[in-house]
Structure 1
Amino acid sequence: MSEESVRRQLAGPLYGQEPWPIRFHTHGFIFHCYNTLACSGVYNRYQFGTRKWIDGIPHDGPSGSPPKNDRNKWRCGHAILAKGGKTFPGPVEIEWTSLDGEEHATSIDLDTLFKERLVLHTVTREEVKELWLQTLSIEPVSPDIMVEVNNRTVSVYMEALIVTEVEDEPGTKVSGLRFDPMLARSVTY
């Protein structure tokens, strides 16, 4: 397989397209539960959360409080590759018990939530490093999408690497790199 065909395959429908606004075709997925008595999320046939299955029987456990350092929330994720032209393999199915003992269930359709496939960020077009932006039609950004259950609230965030001309922390190695978590949706049940 030629290098050109590999790039076309990785970029999917974004190959050769205008890079602004920044769009995505693949993504990472992260799921966290906080302040729940039990919590389970299923996405792309993977189960996340505190529920464990033993001999076909679910065993639920409580989750703790969120970490003091929010950066730790983004430490582990699962790469979700687009298959058959689909960016999202299906909805996120969530079942949990809030701290008051009430059971909840919801389904989040990421395909609808991110219908335009726009990368959520706060960087202006003028701040983006031009050379990096030009590469996006060949190697698009792959943001991380995090679903967080915290007691009665379910929130969906997106975080992506954006390379900028502007140094937000002058003199540091990552000063021209932005990783701003952006809230896409939050619902309290």
Structure 2
Amino acid sequence: MDAQHTACGGGRRGSRRIIATLVVASLTTTGCQGMADTRQGPMTADGRRIDNTVADWPLKFVQHSFGARCYSTHGCTVDYNGHRHVDHPDDVLRPSTDEIHPDALKNASASYLGVMNFPEPATVAWRSRDGVQHEARVDIGEIFRDRLILHHVPREDIPERVSILNPAIILEVNDRTINVYMRAFIPTKSLRTPGNRHSNYRDELVLAWTRTY
């Protein structure tokens, strides 16, 4: 009777040990796998994970940053994802890119981070340099409907096992034209500037869409 009490109850300490062992085993076989899954990238439509390495070629994105710029405009406003990104006064003509700096747009960044694909279209209102009023809805989701990261880097020049960060989408209003660009930071095996070890990346603007009004 005492032996049975020791083995089956032992009493309550033995039960607690058995329960603890089962919990550890469960975490080892299922829970840890579940936690590992959450650290991986999201799934594509066909069930593949997106980790944004060359193994996932072509590179795709599920989040993006956003920025907007207006040049040669009056009263330009840009709204996207429930946020006003540009709100210029109507009585001031914004300078052109050449008047600001030849590389003004080239160096433009997107400071609005972590936008999930995809909100409602961006809404843009402005007057062009000649004073004519314009309004437009720019469907970012339609422009990037294939979710591809736009870049000019060959697959063989991207290091293996390096994850690519979320790209930036930049909307430019320039007089009567709206341009939508993507900028992605792509690590490279080669150097853009020979001898400069900090130049092992590409991040140029790639034009994705344009329309003149």
Report the TM range for the smaller structure's normalisation: 0.7 to 0.9
2:108 equivalent among 32, 48, 73: 73
Q: Deviations over 1:142-189 (max 9, x none)?
A: 000000001101000000011111112122243211101100011111
TM-score normalised per structure 2: 0.72
Query: Aligned AA for 1:78?
Result: Y
Q: Deviations over 1:105-158 (max 9, x none)?
A: 1111111110110000011111111231xxx4xxx5300000000110100000
Partner of 1:96: 126
Within 5 Å, give how 1:98-137 maps onto structure 2: 98-132=128-162, 136=163
Partner of 1:55: none
Tell me if the contact between 1:92 and 1:110 (Cα under 8 Å) persists in the aligned partners: yes
Within 5 Å, give how 1:19-168 maps onto structure 2: 19-51=56-88, 61-66=92-97, 67-68=100-101, 69-70=103-104, 71-74=106-109, 76-82=110-116, 87-132=117-162, 136=163, 141-168=165-192
Partner of 1:56: none
Higher-helix-fraction structure:
2
Say what the alpha-carbon RMSD is for the aligned residues.
2.3
Counterparts of 1:141 and 1:13, CA distance in 2: 16
Report how many aligned residue pairs link the two structures. Answer: 170
Higher-strand-fraction structure:
1
Counterparts of 1:119 and 1:72, CA distance in 2: 19
Query: Aligned AA for 1:88?
Result: F
Range that drifts further, 145-154 or 17-26:
17-26
SS of the equivalent of 1:96 reads strand
Tell me if the contact between 1:120 and 1:159 (Cα under 8 Å) persists in the aligned partners: yes
> Structure 1 residue 180 and structure 2 residue 212: aligned?
no
SS of the equivalent of 2:196 reads coil
TM-aligned CA deviation for residue 60 of structure 1: 6.0
Counterparts of 2:87 and 2:93, CA distance in 1: 7
**Aligned residues with identical type, % of pairs:** 32
**Where does the alignment leave 5 or more consecutive residues of structure 1 unmatched?**
53-58
Counterparts of 1:90 and 1:173, CA distance in 2: 41
The structure with the larger Rg is 2
Using CA pairs below 8 Å that are at least 6 residues apart, which structure has the higher relative contact order?
Answer: 1
SS of the equivalent of 1:42 reads strand
Partner of 2:25: none
TM-score normalised per structure 1: 0.80
Q: Which runs of 4+ in 1 moved over 6 A?
A: none
SS of the equivalent of 2:161 reads helix
Tell me if the contact between 1:50 and 1:63 (Cα under 8 Å) persists in the aligned partners: no
Query: Aligned AA for 1:41?
Result: V
TM-aligned CA deviation for residue 94 of structure 1: 0.5
SS of the equivalent of 1:72 reads coil
